[in-house]
Every structure is written in structure tokens, then in C-alpha cells.
A and B are shown apart, each in its own frame.
Chain A
Amino acid sequence: MRILKSAVLAMVLALTVLLVPDGSPAPTAFTLVKIDHAEGVDVDPDTVWILAVGSDARMGENPLRSRGDALQLVGMNTRTGAATSIGIPRDSWVSIPGYGSNRVNAALYYGGPQLLGDTVGDLIGIDPDYVMVTTFWGLRDMVNDIGGITVQNPRAFSDVYLWPQGFREGTLRLNGHGATAFGRIRKSLPGGDFDRSANQQRVLRGIQAQVAGRADEPGFIEEGVLSVLQHLDTDLGPAELFKLAQAVAQVDPGKITGCVVPGGIGNVGGASVVIPSTSTARAYGDDARDDAVITSC
């Protein structure tokens, strides 16, 4: 149970009373009440894992058989309100069941969401309960549908093609196009693929905060589910999506953690790849599997 305290408000009101000049009309009455709050949502299992995938499909291509360029394994503990995200750099060189070794993003191309889920499951040690695939335009439209998002940007960066005006450091308000660019840009980031993955987590946080902030608006969650059905490729039924959306809305922002699987830069067949630290990936998975909390990155 979360208690919403009104101490600051009381202080402000008290100061207001003190500062009202004698000649001013005194307020006839005001009400100061403490509101207790409780929330809960039942999603099976209690800690649900969703592999959120940003496909690089262009218009006209099948997003389920393209490359998965944004990969975030997201866990939500519906009992505690905790959530975490484990980012996997797109170029991570991993074993893909039945296809040898390749970049992790190729798993979607080879075998669709199931194979990508299996591949990430092998790397992290957590098999996702759901795989949700979106496209660039799907993410853009969804962010627009929820009214834009706010992200905390730790450093300024830009991209001459995707966002030439640049993202400044600090708190940013982004529309769908901006949010998509924020999660796509890699070359100008000092940490390259790793920093991009961290930025994708910032976009996810922004989406969660926006959903949570508007959840009590009439029909907001319902419209969000409809937007998801329109913009994401998912085989979930609307009722199941509805439950998940309500669970997303109840995540406690103070209990969100997130890490990106670290690694080194390698070269395979002349191509630059990321050699992920599989031990760290497993450690993140072991840490977060049951409670959706990563103690430290």
C-alpha cells in the first residue's frame, strides 16, 4: 500500500495563510485530506517476462521475419510493482538454436518470435512469457497515441539522418517520431550499441510513466490496448493484453531497474560484432528471474 502524504501541501497552505495580508479576504474554508491508496493486479505468472522487440522491417516487409534490432527483456512483478529491463545489444554474437552462431537479431529472421525468444532465453536464462514485436512506425504511432513520452537523456547526441536537430541533455518530451529516433541512434553514442540499448530502456520507462500517469482517464487503458493491437504484432488475445496493460500501469516508477548486457567488440568474418558477457547475462537473469529486480548492473 502506498501512502500519499500531504505534508508538503499542508506546508504550502500554511505559508499561504501566513502570507495573506490582513486586508485580503480570508478563505472561507479549505479541505485538506489524506488519501490512502492501494492497487494490485493479477497476471499469471506473478512475475511476467516480455521480450520487447523492435523490428527493422520497412514498410511492406514482414516484421516477424526481419531482424530484431531493439531487444529488451522486460520483467514485471505484479505483486510488488517492480519492473526491470535487460537490454541485449543488437550485434551480440550468440548461439541460435538450430542455426549455429550469429548476431542475436538474426534469430527473428530465421525463426520468428519463438526462435528469438528461445535465443534470448538461452542467453539470459529466462524464457520470456511473451514476445512483442513492433516496427519503427508502430512504435511511433503508439507513442503518439498515448500522448508522447518524457525521457531523461544523460548526454546530448544527434544523427544526421534520423534526428539532425539533436537531442539535448536533460529532460526531453518526445513525440512518436522523436521517441523512435531516440531508440535507434547508435553511431554518435560513445558506447555505441550498449548506449543505444540503454536509450531504448529510457524510452520504455517513458512509455510506462505515460501509461501510469493517464491510467485513470476514462478509456485510456482500453484505447491503449486497441493501439497495441493495431501497431504491434502479437498473438495475445485482447483480454490478456488488457491485463498486461493494467499491470504496466501499476508498475511503481521507484522500483524500476535496468541493465544492458555488457561485452567486448569482436570480429567475425570481417564483420564487427559484440561478444556478450554470457556470465553477466546469466547473472542478471538469476538476479531478476523471480522478483523483476536487478540489484546492480
Chain B
Amino acid sequence: MTRLPRRGTAFAAALITALSPLAAGCSGDDEPLEPAAASASPTAEPVEFVVRSDVGKITGRVGRSERREVVKDVGRVVGDWMEASYLSAGKQVDLDAALARFSDDAAAQARRDRSLLSNAALRGAGDVVPRRATVKVDVLAPGGEVAGATARFRIAFDTADRKRGELVSGRLMLTPVKRGWQVFGYSVDRGAAPAKAAGKDDASKDDASKDDAGKKGQE
């Protein structure tokens, strides 16, 4: 699935939901992800924004097709939020659009935390170029009924005026509502992403470095 950005950003955006691992059933968290399709530098030509959605841990019983559906739908909600929040900066960020799938109270809290949950507080950052975005969806389905999901996400991007990129990771918590999924909570970390290797984006290095940074942050 390929989608164009809603706003006039300097790149084309695509949301790709990779569902192939779902056929294997409950995947482990350490399952390696394929390298993301996006690769760019702040001065590069328009690039794709790729969100890779994967199944995380399943608690309860969910059929294969329903599992695929949940990951696709949750991945889309998270991808929409990422796109609206992090693929632009400053006044270009449309918080209403970014938080459209948040519950009212969660959206109100997220607005207060907008410096972490979006790029709205980045002034004069210039264009934003995504490096890589991943989502892993843990599903709660007691008795075979899907009741909630935790989307563990990670997005790295560069801004035109910065030497270092930014890395945002954490969890969005969602419950199914009449029209899809709604975000009712979040836990978000934001820090500097490690520098890219010369001329290329090393996705595996992103993961390892973030793990390291996260541990340091908790010490």
C-alpha cells in the first residue's frame, strides 16, 4: 500500500505494512526486521516514508486473518500519527491531524507533550527526512476477542538544520472502537539518533544504539 503525504512536504511518503511474518504465527520480539525501504539525507531527492508493521506478542487467541487485520489497522493508525507528527516541523505540523485517532483526554495530554509526540516545537528545522519507522503490535485477545493492543514503535529522521538525527520510540496503547482503533495512552522517549554511516542508513545500527541509549536513560 502506498500513500502520498497529506501536506506539501519535500518528499513522497509511503506507508507499507509488511504482513508476511504473520503467516508464521506469534513472532518473537527479536525477530529481525528487513531493512527499511526509506533511505535519504536532508539534501536528497524526495524519498519514501516506509512504516513496517509487524506482529508482536499475542496474548490470548486470535485467528491468523484477524491478527493480520489488527496489525494492519493498528499500523495504519500509528503510521498516520507518525506521518502527521514527524514528517514536518514547527507550524507545519498539524496537531489536529496528528492526534485525530487519540481519545479526547489522550489528545489533550499529548498536546502538552507535543515536543515529544510531534515536531511542533521544532522551529526552523527545515525539511524532515525520515530514515526508518517500525511498529510492532502486541495484541490482547482473551477468549478470542480482541480487546486492546500495544504498538511498540520507533521512528528515526533527520532535519535539514541538524547534524544529528532524531529517534523517537515508545508505546502507543490502543483499544478497538466502533470505527477502528483509538489511542488512549502513550509512553514516548525522544533523543538523538546515532549518525548515519557515510552515505547510507544502517537500520540495524539504529536499533542497537537505541537499546543502548534507553538503558543509559534509565540508570
Taking CB atoms and an 8 Å cut-off, the chain A residues in 205-246 that contact chain B are: 215-216, 218-219, 221-223, 225-226, 229, 237-239, 242-243, 246
Q: Out of B60, B150, B185, B216, name the residue touching A250 (CB < 8 Å).
A: B185
Q: Is B148 touching A34 in the complex (CB atoms < 8 A)?
A: no
| A40 proximal to B (CB < 8 A) | yes
Given contacts A37-B188, A79-B109, whether A237 and B218 have CB atoms under 8 Å apart is: no
| B156 proximal to A (CB < 8 A) | no
Counting contact residues on chain B (CB < 8 A from A), the size range is 35 or more
Q: Is A243 touching B184 in the complex (CB atoms < 8 A)?
A: yes
**Of listed A6, A216, A223, residue having the most chain B CB within 10 A:** A216
How many residue-residue contacts, CB under 8 A, span A and B? 147
| B104 proximal to A (CB < 8 A) | yes
Residue on A with the closest CB to B30?
A: A218
Main secondary structure of the interface of A (DSSP, over half): mixed
| A36 proximal to B (CB < 8 A) | yes
| B145 proximal to A (CB < 8 A) | yes
| B192 proximal to A (CB < 8 A) | yes
- Chain B residues lying within 8 Å of A239, measured Cβ to Cβ, are 147-148, 175-176
Q: Is A218 touching B29 in the complex (CB atoms < 8 A)?
A: yes
**Of listed B170, B187, B213, residue having the most chain A CB within 10 A:** B187
Taking CB atoms and an 8 Å cut-off, the chain A residues in 20-40 that contact chain B are: 31-40
Given contacts A31-B209, A215-B187, A239-B147, whether A37 and B217 have CB atoms under 8 Å apart is: yes
Q: Which residues from chain A sit less than 8 Å from chain B, CB to CB?
A: 1, 4, 6, 8-9, 31-44, 46, 78-79, 215-216, 218-219, 221-223, 225-226, 229, 237-239, 242-243, 246-247, 250
Residue pairs across A and B with Cβ atoms less than 8 A apart, 10 shown, are A37-B188, A38-B188, A41-B184, A42-B105, A79-B109, A219-B58, A238-B143, A242-B175, A246-B184, A247-B185
Question: Which 6 residue pairs spanning A and B have beta carbons closest together?
Answer: A219-B57, A41-B185, A40-B109, A242-B148, A222-B59, A35-B217
